[in-house]
Amino acid sequence: MELNEVTISRAIVEEQTRILLDYLEMDAAIVGGGPSGLACAALLGERGVKCALIEKKLSIGGGMWGGGMMFPRIVVQEEARRLLDRFGITHREYAPGYFVASSVEAVAKLTAAACDAGVEFFNLTTVEDVMIKSDARVSGLVVNWTPVEMAGLHVDPLTLACACTIDATGHDAVVARMVEAKGAEIAVKGESFMWAERAETNIVGHTREIYPGLVVTGMAANAVAGESRMGPIFGGMLLSGERAAALVAEKLGK
């Protein structure tokens, strides 16, 4: 078979345009492709929720890729071990209640699970604003290409409509801060000092709807609450993503 360059280009443009048009309206948009966002996306997809994951960087995985200080290993505590099993992530018990796993395998298998569940990914896409109308709820996201933002180009964005938005943007809590900046009655306190036990214990409780249509998960949830950070232990991230998926699915009746 003789390969045609235009056919290759046409396939890419037509297929991605078809997907983008289909996802201009969706049930749930997860902003941020770290561990909590990936877990949330995979679990929502399994429930039949039409959802997409929006990631500003070229690759997804967030801070999990680098493990701890570029040692590509992560630790997960006993309470979250079942999620390692659920996603088929190989692990071993390092000490009683401490399980160590490959950060690369963890990201790869969470991503594969989300793909298998029908989640669409929009990488290199930045959320620059939210849509809030007279019903006083987050009902859409204003997006642009990340390179446009990086270059400071004056290019107007597009809008995606969604019934629920999940802020999984990590320490910066980007979407929550946008809503706060627009005058909504929420307060993003910012994350506190390192205290793994406290952060891991409280993160699921901080995973909640902070404004109509907006749920926070992972370190974004801890940042909103002014909670501690925990370093390269990722059980709380997975459990928070699971909790966010349950909250959103309940709101959508899935």
> For the segment 168-202, what is each residue's pLDDT rounded down to a tens digit?
999 999 999 999 998 888 999 999 999 999 999 99
The whole-angstrom separation of Cα 59 and Cα 193 is 28
Q: Let me know if residue 163 belongs to a domain.
A: yes
- pLDDT cut 90: percent of the chain above it: 98
116 is in an annotated binding site: no
pLDDT score, position 183 = 85
191 is in an annotated binding site: no
Q: Say if CB 239 and CB 83 are below 8 A apart.
A: yes
127 is in an annotated binding site: yes
Task: Give me the mean pLDDT over the 121-136 stretch.
Answer: 96
154 is in an annotated binding site: yes
pLDDT tier at 123, thresholds 50, 70, 90 = very high
The whole-angstrom separation of Cα 65 and Cα 170 is 14
Q: Let me know if residue 1 belongs to a domain.
A: no
CA 6 distance to own-chain centroid: 35
Q: Let me know if residue 143 belongs to a domain.
A: yes
The mean predicted confidence, pLDDT, of the chain is: 97
Q: Let me know if residue 240 belongs to a domain.
A: yes
> Token pair 């963890």 is at which residue?
106
Task: Give me the mean pLDDT over the 104-123 stretch.
Answer: 98
CATH number for the domain spanning 230: value is 3.50.50.60
Kindly give, in sequence order, each residue whose CB lies less than 8 Å from that of residue 82, ignoring residues fewer than 6 positions away: none
CA 59 distance to own-chain centroid: 13
Q: Which domain range does residue 90 map to?
A: 13-252
pLDDT score, position 185 = 87
Task: Give me the mean pLDDT over the 99-126 stretch.
Answer: 98
156 is in an annotated binding site: yes
pTM: 0.97
- pLDDT cut 70: percent of the chain above it: 100
36 is in an annotated binding site: yes
pLDDT score, position 107 = 98
Residues β-bridged to residue 71: 68
SS3 68: strand
70 is in an annotated binding site: no
The whole-angstrom separation of Cα 254 and Cα 249 is 5
pLDDT score, position 96 = 98
55 is in an annotated binding site: yes
pLDDT score, position 206 = 98
Count up the domains in the chain and report the number. Answer: 1
133 is in an annotated binding site: no
Task: Give me the mean pLDDT over the 12-35 stretch.
Answer: 98
Q: Let me know if residue 201 belongs to a domain.
A: yes
Q: Let me know if residue 112 belongs to a domain.
A: yes
Q: Let me know if residue 7 belongs to a domain.
A: no
Q: Let me know if residue 226 belongs to a domain.
A: yes
91 is in an annotated binding site: no
